[in-house]
Every structure is written in structure tokens, then in C-alpha cells.
Chains A and B, each alone.
Chain A
Amino acid sequence: MNSDPNKSILIFLLASIGLIAFPHSKNIPIPLFAFFYLLLSWRFIGIWKQNWLPNKLTLFFLTVCGLVLIYSQHHGLLGRDAGTRLFVTALGLKLLEIKSERELYLITYLAFIVAASQFLYQQSLLMAAYILFVCCVLLATLVCINSSKPQPFAALKTAGIILLQAIPMAVVLFILFPRIEAPKWMFFNEPHQAKAGLSDSMEPGSISDLGMSDELVFRVKFTKDLPPPSQRYWRGPVLSYTDGKKWTQIKDLRFKQFLDKPVFSGSPYQYTLLMEPQNKNWVFALEMPADYALPLSQNANYQLMTSESPDKRTEYKIISYLNYNTGFITRTEYKDATQLPNPPSDKIKQLVKQLHGFDSTPDAFIKQLLTHFRQEDFHYTLTPPLMEENPIETFLFETRYGFCSHYAAAFVYLMRVANIPARVVTGYQGGEWNKVGNFLEIRQADAHAWAEVWLENKGWVRFDPTAAIAPERIERNINIDQLMPGGIISFAPTGAAAQTAFNWLKQTRQLWSNIDYNWQRWVINYDNKNQSSFLSSLGITDIKAMIYWMIGSIGLITALLSWLLLYQKQQAIDPVLRIYNRFCKKLAKRGLPKGQCEGAKDFAERIKITLPEQAAAID
């Protein structure tokens, strides 16, 4: 209709496109991103300088440029990355040849696709809110195109109203629309970004600074009671083999079939564990997991693994017991758990001897050793000095500064010297309690290492030497927010004045974590499994019922909305006029319709004549 699109429409459209593509800065390579914004700003200038816009030849050249750029940065032709790049570049090029309304619409639609592609990279609540806002601007652009005189704010308001009205129906569709897993061949496997998580080996001497990441690893929601804080050990890989410096897992775990059946006692703890995307298939269950369902399985070291891809958020239902007895030790286990790289040095033998490692029961020796850690000048720090040569000896006799890995490694080593089977267990310890959402949040900073000793009639028993040095580390979490680089760890609580402000901060953080948890749990993770369990709690069990419910609720919402829209219109009429209309209607019922070309006054006169008894009321 309009051959030359209106300036304000263009400004609106270009602004919304600038907003839409912006979060892609992290996802698409810089040259392409820059190319896109170059095109966008070119078009922006073109609003005022029409003849600066490229002609057909330049446009062709630019298209070739775009293709070359995509090709040079290519990651295959199909899939998320390639698709996003293609759409972004196409959008940029299309911007330069806006000639009619048709192109404006095409661009808007392309922009919607680019907006959707953001969700393939990030699914946070903030991103969703941002995209919602951008969609509102895009809709407002459409409103502008369809108004003869574009008024940006009125258009935004209209678009906002339409969007708000659309949300209930979208939510109903979201809940009830049947989710079917896409067949495997349709998945495009993307190279997953490596995440710094717990590693499958431990080398305490070579780390001088343990990265303390605030990143969430998993959340746990208990159905009933919480285990006491000092018992919250989340079991990860078990490291049995050492070369003196590095501790690694045993490769050959075939001895699993010979393991004794563990005996559990005490009260069971039932919980739901929501793992964040990981690059390893480990699932960190509370020690000791007793009951779990597929896709989980347990290896010979009692560690839970998932057989599905760990790069998606997944929920597991697990039952654990705090009291357990793993029974006898297999020969392989015994061999692995007493393995030493070299004969121990005299200094170490001396120490073990001094602590009665060779001439008392294992229990007594362990007690002695823990007392030794506590009473001697050992310190807990996250920034220990480097110990390149003989790390265990250096740690025990020289530096005496270390974190959990140092203590666990030294403890296990000394046990083995005394010929007691022991091994290092890594995983997470503790977790922050979210009061708002009633769940535990376990972050990377909660990573921990402890020791496990096999004792006669008790099986594998956990000992945490770190607890001997810094019991607070176990009772309370490390306060990451207050960590001073290089300093010795201080555990909360600290000064009272700072505490109130900190508490407030903590509360907001917890509130936010709770919102985020629910977002992850109910929105991002709402797959066919969750859907069917949620819907069956509402009494909807099969797909037929789902469709009936969907149609029913959409009908209901439509009826409500139409009533809302039409009712507003009724109200808008002048109240006096409304009363007058009612008056006329009443009279018409009595056979006195108001004439077509009769004014209100004449009509009143006529009525007064025919209905003299009502004359006063009519006036």
C-alpha cells in the first residue's frame, strides 16, 4: 500500500532488531556480529540519507561478503549455530532492501525466529523476560504499520495489551500441549561447552589456588526431614590409585559383582535431586544411596551415574540412608586400597609409629591421627603453597597449610602406610539451605574430598580429616562472598553490623534462587515425563483428555476475553445516553417507538400526550 515506509516505523523496527540480536554477541563469532551491526547502522543512517543505501550491485557484494563470513566461521550446515548465523545474516541483508510493507513483515518474522534462537543458548528467566519485551516491541511495529499515523507509545500499549491477553492461553497450551521427544536423528549434537566441575583426579600439591565458583551444581529437595549439616556428604568419584602426587580412579571396576550387599539402617531420606547440565555423567547422591531408578546405576564404588546425556537439566528421585554397612572387602578392593607408589620414607614411618599406627587397632590409630591434625599447627586455607616434590611429606612436616584434598590425601596415605585399606572420596559437602523454596543448593564451591577406611564389621566408613582442622567447614559453608584473596578462610558469622546487610543480601539471593529453581523445575524442565506426572495429579491421564482439556480451557479463555472486550464497549457510552436508551426501549415495548427523524423533545411531547399520567416522570 505504502511504497515508502514511514520513518518512525523504520526506527521502531530497527531498534527492536538491534535489541533482539544483541544477546547473540556471545553466541555468534565477532566478525559476523560486527557485520550484522554494520548493516543495521547502515540502514539506520539510510532512514535520513535515502541515497546512501546500497544499490543492487553493492547489495550483491554484501551478500557475497555475508556468505564468505558464514563459510569462514562455519560449523557445519545444520544445527543450532549454523542456523542462528544464517538467520542473523539474512536478517541484516534483508534490512537493506526494505521497499514495501511486505518486506517489513518478512523482517519482523525473521526477527521472531532470531529471538527464538536465543533460547537455544540461554534459558534463564531474565532472558525470557527480555525476549518477551522485545516481542512486545516487534508487535508494536506491526501495530504501527497498520495505523495510518504511527504513534509509538500508543502502539506499544496496544501491543502490550495484546501480549498480556495472549499469555493465559499460551500458558494453557504450554501445560497441555502434548510433549513428544524428538526422534534421535533429529537432534543436532552441539559441542558442549566444557564446564569446570569436579574432576576425575586430584593432585593437591600442584594447586595453589582452588577456584571457588559460585556456580550451581545441583539442588536437592527432601520430602521429609533434612539430614544434619555434618552428614551432608554428596558422593562423587572415588580415588583409590595414587602415584604419590596424583590420585585417580581405578579403571577396572569389574569387581562389582563380588561386592557384599550393603545393609542400611536408621531412617530413610527421600529426595529429589535436580542436576544442572554437566559434562560428566556423575550424579551426586547423599551417602549412601539405597534406592534409585533408571537411568541411574551404581558403580563398584557406590557412586551413582546416569546413562543419559548429562548436558540437560535432569531430575532424579533417590532414597539414601545415613547409616550403612557395606560388609566385607573384596580382594581387588583391598589391593587397591592399600596400594602405595613407593615404600614410605623414614620420616613418615616415624610419624605412623609415633601415632601407634603399627601397634594398635585401626580405630585407635585414626583417633590418634585426627588428634594430631587438630593439635599440631595445621591450617586450613584455599590458597596453599605449591608442593611439587613429595607433596604429602612436605604438607605433613613443612607447610601444614592446605585444603580438604591435602588432608584427605595425607590421611589416606598414612592409613595405607599402616596397612589399613583407605581411599579418597570426592564430591560435595554441605549445601546452602534455601528457606524460601525449602531446598538445598549445592554449588561448585562446596566441592570436597574426604577419606574412607575399611573397618572390620563396619565396612567402608567415612572419615573427614578436614573436619578435625576446620570443623566449621563441615558445619557451615564457606562464605564465598566474604572470601579475601590469599587470606585464611573465615567462616560466617562475622561482625554483627555487616551481618544485617549481609543477611538482607542473602535473603534476596535466596528468593531469587527459589524463583530460579521453580523456573528451572517447572518451565525449562517440563518434559513429557514431568508433564504426565503433573497432569495425572490433575486427573488428566491420557492424550484424549489432554486435548479435551486444551479445547475446553481455550474456549473458556476466549469467552472471558470476548466478554471483557465487549463489556468495555458497553461501558463507554455516556451514562445519560444509556439511561435514555433504556427509556426508549421500554416505551418501544409498550408500542411507542421513537421515530426515525424525531428529536428527543418532540418525542417527549408525543409521549406525554399518549401517556399523560407519566408526564411528570418523563420531564
Chain B
Amino acid sequence: MSLKERFRLSRFISGEQATDEPIILTHRRIFILPTYRGVNFAILTALLLLIAFVYNNNLVYLLAFLLASIFFITILHSYKALAGLELQKGQTKAVFAGEAAGFAIYIDNPVNVERFNLQIKLEQPESLTIKPQSKTCVTLYSLTKKRGWHTAGTITLSSTYPLGLFRVWSPVRFTLKALVYPKPSLQELPFPETPSAQAKQGFSQKGVDDFYGLKEYLPGDSIKQIHWKAFAKGLGLFSKQYGGDSSAEIWLDYENAPGHNTEERLSQLCRWVIDAEHIGIAYGFSLPGLKLLPDTGISHSRKCLEALALF
């Protein structure tokens, strides 16, 4: 690390450059500052010194010095609260915009000391204790707003152990990103009529007509399709499934998607992809510059959603 980098102020808050490698917390990455309580403790020590001075009392001097050295030594102990921990990035899952993306972080405590009361924070702080020589995994959530790649910001691991006089923290950044799909439109629209050459059998507007079964509710399902009666009976959330011919093919085309702007169109397309996947009909997918032949299955839908997310 160059000298200039070393003295960059942002290292204190946002950490060093993002990395894929596991990060071991060392003196380079760990920062310590007294907390408000620590400052008050220093004031208490000064007060005791004053009492000792006024009364010329050696034992009060001794007590004040003891507190001062405790204050000083706590710096080392605070450092020890974080030092040596090994952080490693884990898996992330794609989410729909508006949902919280979860980033898994593995924290390894390779030494024989228990780590009490660590705080790990991305957006919401979470506290954890790591047993000696053990590994834990925490999932940190970050709320997404827009489709596309959502990068996890700085993850801050901090602790006030043992006395709460100092806060020791270490900001780390991993190349962690979650794919965010567009938010599925809430509008219940029929699948588009496809005047495409490939749709030889014509479009079938069966999506809403023929009821053929129930499926467990999945996020993105239309509220209208929820089997409310079953829900009222306490059986759980089910979506009614419509459509007759599972071999039917539809084309989901950007050009045909309704909406005032790109985002609305993408959102509608997203909705259709989910619905089509639920129903189980084969669907082709077309965006400007991309065409996917009709197919069905998770990998197909993921391809479509990824295309939508990154469009």
C-alpha cells in the first residue's frame, strides 16, 4: 500500500478497495477511538487527580493512575477484540427491486479467544458472539431500490468490548453484488397477443380463463389469483392457476409491453415472465438486441430476468 493510500481519510470509514479475497483484520484495517463513555472516563480520572491534588492523598493518586492505565490498556484489549478475525464473502441471491438483498459473510475466529459482542453492520447493526476457533455466517441485508447490480457497501465490524470505553471498528469492502430484477408490475394484464410468425397456433388468452389447479403462492403472483377462500380457511396462501394448454407458446416482447416508459415496460415484462413460469407455458422473450426462444424452466426464467435487470 502506498503512503498516500495509507493516509487517505476514507479508510477510516469506508475501508480499503473492495476485494474478493478473504480479509484478515490486522492493525492496518482496525481503527480505535474512545466512545463518549471513554471520554467521560477520562474526565473521571482527571477529577480523581484533582481530588488527590487538593487533599494531597497518595492513595487517591494511585487510584487515579490505576484508572488512567486501565484506560490506556483497554486500547490493547479493544484491538484484541477484532484482531485476527478472518472475513470471507459468501453467496448472494438475486432479488426483486424493493426487496432486501442478503449478503452472506463468513467470519472465522481462528484463535482460542472468544469474541464477545461484535457488531456487524451493513444497514442494520447485528450483534454476535463468536466462540473460540469457530466460524459463523451472518447474512446482512441491504434494501434495494433499482434494478441492476446492487453492490454491498462497506461492512463495518465493530466492538466496544471489554469496557465500552473505546470503539474499535474495521470497515471492509468485498466485491459483493446482488442482481436486482425489476419490480414486478402490480397490474394484472393479460399476456400479449403475439403476431409473431412463430406463434402459429395463435395466441391463447387462457391465462385468465381456464382454471386448472392451485399452486403455492410465490412472491410476484397476482393478488387477484390468490385463492382467498382457502386462505380464509387457514390453509395458507395458494394461487389459482389458469390456462389450458401447457404447450402453448407466447412471446413476451419489449415492444408489445404496455407502459409509459422503459421501467414500466420492464416491470410488466417481469410480471409476465413470473406468471408464465408459474403457469408453465413456454414463452419466448425478446428485448431490443436479445431474443430467447420459447422455453420454460428456472434457468430460462432466470435468463430472462437477468436480461431485464441489466437492460
Contact = CB atoms under 8 A, between A and B. Distances in A.
B62 A170 contact: yes
Interface string A100-144: 000001000100110111011001000110010001000100110
A322 B72 CA distance: 55
B140 to A, nearest CB: 18
Interface string A410-424: 000000000000000
Contacts of A558: 72, 76
A234 B273 CA distance: 109
B135 interface: no
Given A163-B70, A174-B65, A558-B72, A572 B161 contact: no
A526 interface: yes
Given A143-B162, A169-B69, A170-B69, A135 B63 contact: yes
A177 interface: yes
B56 interface: yes
A526 B61 CA distance: 11
B24 to A, nearest CB: 12
A105 B37 contact: yes
B11 interface: no
A147 B164 contact: no
B217 interface: no
B137 interface: no
Interface residues of A, number: 60
A167 interface: yes
Contacts of A80: 55
A147 B70 contact: no
A188 B60 CA distance: 16
Contact of B117 (A146, A177, A524): A146
Interface stretch (B46-54, B235-243, B263-271): B46-54
Contacts of A163: 66, 70
B57 A119 contact: yes
Interface stretch (A38-46, A179-187, A510-518): A179-187
A167 B65 CA distance: 9
B67 interface: yes
B18 interface: no
Contacts of A149: 129
A166 B51 contact: no
B69 A142 contact: no
A527 interface: yes
A443 B197 CA distance: 120
B72 A572 contact: no
Given A113-B48, A177-B65, A119 B59 contact: yes
B162 A162 contact: yes
A523 B62 contact: yes
From DSSP, what is the main secondary structure of chain B's interface residues? Answer: helix
A167 B77 CA distance: 15
A571 to B, nearest CB: 8
Nearest to A112: B44
Given A105-B40, A572-B112, A173 B60 contact: no
Contacts of A120: 51, 55, 57, 60
Interface in B80-97: 80, 83-84
B1 interface: no
Contacts of A187: 54-55
B211 to A, nearest CB: 50
B292 interface: no
A561 interface: yes
Given A169-B72, A572-B113, A573-B111, A162 B77 contact: yes
A166 to B, nearest CB: 4
Interface string B34-49: 0001001100100110
B69 A527 contact: no
A569 B51 contact: no
A569 B113 contact: yes
Contact of B56 (A147, A169, A182): A182
Contact of A119 (B60, B72, B111, B128): B60
Contacts of A574: 133
Interface string A546-558: 0000000010001
A498 interface: no
Contacts of B57: 119-120, 123
Contacts of B84: 569
Given A146-B164, A562-B76, A162 B70 contact: yes
Given A165-B73, A523-B58, A145 B53 contact: no
A119 B58 CA distance: 9
B136 to A, nearest CB: 13
Given A105-B40, A596-B21, A174 B74 contact: no
Given A112-B48, A143-B162, A173 B68 contact: yes
B54 A182 contact: yes
Interface in B122-174: 127-129, 132-133, 160-165
A131 B63 contact: yes
B100 to A, nearest CB: 22
A166 B61 contact: no
B116 interface: yes
A538 interface: no
Interface of A: 80, 105, 109, 112-113, 115-117, 119-120, 123, 127-128, 131, 135, 139, 142-143, 145-149, 158-159, 162-163, 165-171, 173-174, 177, 179-182, 186-188, 523-527, 554, 558, 561-562, 565-566, 569, 572-574, 596
Given A162-B162, A186-B54, A561-B73, 20 more contacts: A112-B67, A116-B48, A116-B63, A120-B51, A123-B59, A143-B161, A145-B164, A146-B164, A148-B128, A158-B162, A159-B162, A165-B73, A169-B73, A182-B55, A182-B56, A524-B59, A525-B58, A569-B80, A569-B111, A572-B132
Interface of B: 21, 37, 40-41, 44, 47-48, 51-70, 72-74, 76-77, 80, 83-84, 110-113, 116-117, 127-129, 132-133, 160-165
29 contacts: A112-B67, A113-B48, A115-B63, A116-B60, A119-B63, A123-B57, A131-B59, A131-B63, A139-B163, A142-B164, A143-B161, A146-B116, A147-B161, A148-B116, A148-B117, A148-B127, A148-B129, A149-B129, A158-B162, A170-B65, A173-B68, A182-B55, A186-B53, A527-B56, A558-B76, A565-B77, A569-B80, A573-B111, A596-B21
Nearest 7 CB-CB pairings of A with B:
A572-B112, A169-B69, A119-B59, A173-B65, A166-B69, A170-B65, A170-B66
